[in-house]
Amino acid sequence: MTNAIVSVSKESRLFEPPEAFAAAARVGARETYDAMYRRSIDDPEGFWGELAAELHWFDAPKTIRQWDPPKTRWFEGGTTNLSYNCLDRHVAAGGGDKAALVWEGEPGDVRTLSYTELLRETARCANALRRLGVGAGDRVVIYMGMVPEAAITMLACARIGAIHSVIFGGFAADAVRDRVNDAGAKLIVTQDGAWRRGKVVALKEHVDRALASCPSVEHTLVLRRTGNPIEMVAGRDLEWTETVGVAHHECDAVPVAAEHPLFILYTSGTTGKPKGVLHTTAGYMVGCYVTTKYVFDLRDDDVYWCTADVGWVTGHSYIVYGPLANHATVVMYEGAPNHPGPDRFWAMIAKHRVTVFYTAPTAIRAFIRWGDEHPARHDMSSLRLLGSVGEPINPEAWMWYRDVIGGGRCPIVDTWWQTETGAIMMAPLPGAIATKPGSCTVPFFGVVPKILRHDGTEAATNEGGYLVIEQPWPSMLRTVWGDDERFRETYFSRFPGKYFTGDGARRDEHGYFWVMGRVDDVVNVAGHRLGTAEIESVLVAHPWVAEAAVVGRPDELKGQALVAFVTLKSGREPTDPLAEELAELVSAEIGKFARPDAIRFADALPKTRSGKIMRRLLGELAAGQAPKGDTTTLEDISVLAALRTDDE
């Protein structure tokens, strides 16, 4: 881990919440936020107990919070069901006719599901899962595109206490195989194919390849979406229409214990083994519900659109669970933002009269590149609030988002959180907190972030350091699936008793937080956080490759682009076709989004005496900078010199 993190940002603009927005907001003044925040820290039991009581419990919790670092337990003694809280609760209250999902397919087809309809489809799916032998605690992998059935399957799993693990549809067969095997999944729910930029992503084909070595899987359930020819293995592979389609449309939600596992979501670690972040039911439910309510300031007539994929945690918390628990109308879009043209998102905002729009900085940078004429062609006056997530948003992109998309009138909520945190941890409440471009501002209720120095002492104002969280929060990950020790080691060993986020940050003179990104070697490409080790292990699997080190370099569009430094086995010569072949290999094994932008051949890689590759130095080289900082642990300084000459 590197030493103190230097901050270079000089941003100082401040934007107060618009008066009209604040007047109608749930939290309309800084003092109200301050009082609520104070109470959430001084009286967490009372604070969270009251918010939890807004949801349905079959049995009320007996305790609110337990904390025995690194383990936390919330709402113990309570039984509830997240699917019930997202669906049945609203239907029972007379809100069944409201649109729950307004889904738009990439080809332009639109499907609207009311809360009543979404409940019926979820119940059918839950009954079908049961018939396939899926019960409480069983793992179901969902490997789908952005179709309503992905959300329906998630809700159906939650309904019967099964644990879902959604695998991003951009992953290739090997990545699917590793995740399915780690989870020990019984069932894979997938599609023939998914639409992406007018082309078919052959999901079922990938599943077939993965299944050659997934012994735990008994069945696949296949939705027909694109109509591409697929192979169906008799007895193993089942059609959605013949299974879910014919199932009964009622299925009682199973009361599960508060700490019953809800889902596993794989995130990149620094070793090649996928890391299954485990979230449990009640704490995650309360966290998503409360953050959605306050950060997006949801009102009954909002039309809310989060552009994330359900394969990432943002899709779990802020397409499916948070908004539905709040009885929101959620827009869900299947395809690419530039299909058929670069104005697809803006056309959709105009068409569906979207009021709250939540996207990622990498997307915003792409929109900027595509040109202002595209949003200008559409009426986006329905928008009232904008959100950002996934990486630090650069002030230029923030200002563009505010002016061009938000017409200068919409507050921006820059939301900092992680797969592991389950729900938003820092963000401005839009009616209460003045914003600064590039800062996620202040902590959400109950969150105690601290910036620490290397030695664990607290950093001074504006001094960069390690971002940790001191108190437990309801939606905190509970463990790494099947690996408690990895959980403890990854998050609680760097600063004992405190959750280490892995991010660097500083806190300014107003108490605002500025997250500066990961302090380790995980790279964030177009909003996808990638462990370099997984990519490296693909590269070294090539018979000619000796060693590989993958680093990120700043990229205007993607946030970071991947550069792979590769050394070859003796007697092998670096060539352009070989570089192409290696990049293609990564694309095929992990997914297109992980394809390195550059492959750089080297005679040797810089290593520490203990043999660890010094990725930090490579990152600096990849960014075109002279390696700075500490090189004293470098085994052989001439290696670095050689790499630099190569660069010229």
Round to whole Å and give the CA distance between 276 and 330.
27
* The binder of ligand WT7 chosen from 313, 380, 548, 562 (CB under 6 A): 313
Residues 6+ apart with CB under 8 A from 467: 449, 450, 451, 500, 501, 503, 504, 505, 513, 515
Round to whole Å and give the CA distance between 252 and 245.
18
Stretch that binds ligand WT7, among 249-257, 410-418, 476-484, 548-556 (CB under 6 A): 410-418
Task: Between 394 and 567, name the residue whose CB sits nearer to ligand WT7.
Answer: 394
* The binder of ligand WT7 chosen from 416, 444, 500, 512 (CB under 6 A): 416
CA torsion sign, 292 to 167 to 475 to 533?
Answer: negative
Task: Between 276 and 502, name the residue whose CB sits nearer to ligand WT7.
Answer: 502
Binding mask 256-295 for ligand WT7 (x = CB under 6 A): -----------x----------------------------
CB of 230 to ligand WT7, least distance (A): 31
The verdict on 309 binding ligand WT7 (CB under 6 A) reads no
Round to whole Å and give the CA distance between 437 and 410.
13
* The binder of ligand WT7 chosen from 346, 417, 499, 512 (CB under 6 A): 417
Round to whole Å and give the CA distance between 533 and 272.
5
Task: Between 302 and 503, name the residue whose CB sits nearer to ligand WT7.
Answer: 503
Binding mask 557-576 for ligand WT7 (x = CB under 6 A): --------------------
* Residues of span 362-391 touching ligand WT7 by CB under 6 A: 389-391
Nearest CA among 323, 334, 386 for reference residue 357:
386
Q: For residue 246, give both structure tokens.
A: 């014919």
Number of residues assigned to the chain: 648
443 secondary structure, DSSP code: B
The verdict on 307 binding ligand WT7 (CB under 6 A) reads no
Confirm if 160 and 142 have CB atoms less than 8 A apart: no
Residues touching ligand WT7, count (CB under 6 A): 22
Residue nearest ligand WT7 (C-beta atom)? 419
HSE-up of residue 258 (Cα within 13 Å, Cβ side): 25
The verdict on 515 binding ligand WT7 (CB under 6 A) reads yes
The 3-state secondary structure of 124-153, one letter per residue: HHHHHHHHCCCCCCCEEEEECCCCHHHHHH
The verdict on 529 binding ligand WT7 (CB under 6 A) reads yes
What is the number of other CB atoms lying within 10 angstroms of the CB of residue 100?
A: 28
Task: Between 151 and 640, name the residue whose CB sits nearer to ligand WT7.
Answer: 151
* The binder of ligand WT7 chosen from 314, 329, 359, 479 (CB under 6 A): 314
Binding mask 418-457 for ligand WT7 (x = CB under 6 A): xx--------------------x-----------------
Nearest CA among 290, 610, 284 for reference residue 474:
284
Task: Between 226 and 501, name the residue whose CB sits nearer to ligand WT7.
Answer: 501
CB of 438 to ligand WT7, least distance (A): 8
* Residues of span 211-240 touching ligand WT7 by CB under 6 A: none
The verdict on 21 binding ligand WT7 (CB under 6 A) reads no
120's enclosing H/E stretch is helix 115-131
Q: Where are the alpha helices (DSSP H) in 326-370?
A: 344-352, 361-370
The verdict on 535 binding ligand WT7 (CB under 6 A) reads no
Binding mask 116-155 for ligand WT7 (x = CB under 6 A): ----------------------------------------
Q: For residue 413, give both structure tokens.
A: 């909520």
Task: Between 75 and 266, name the residue whose CB sits nearer to ligand WT7.
Answer: 266
Round to whole Å and give the CA distance between 80 and 58.
5
Residues 6+ apart with CB under 8 A from 208: 231, 233
* Residues of span 490-509 touching ligand WT7 by CB under 6 A: 501-503
Confirm if 185 and 141 have CB atoms less than 8 A apart: yes
CB of 504 to ligand WT7, least distance (A): 9
The verdict on 392 binding ligand WT7 (CB under 6 A) reads yes
Round to whole Å and give the CA distance between 574 and 567.
9
Residues that bind ligand WT7 (CB under 6 A): 267, 312-314, 389-392, 414-419, 440, 501-503, 515, 517-518, 529
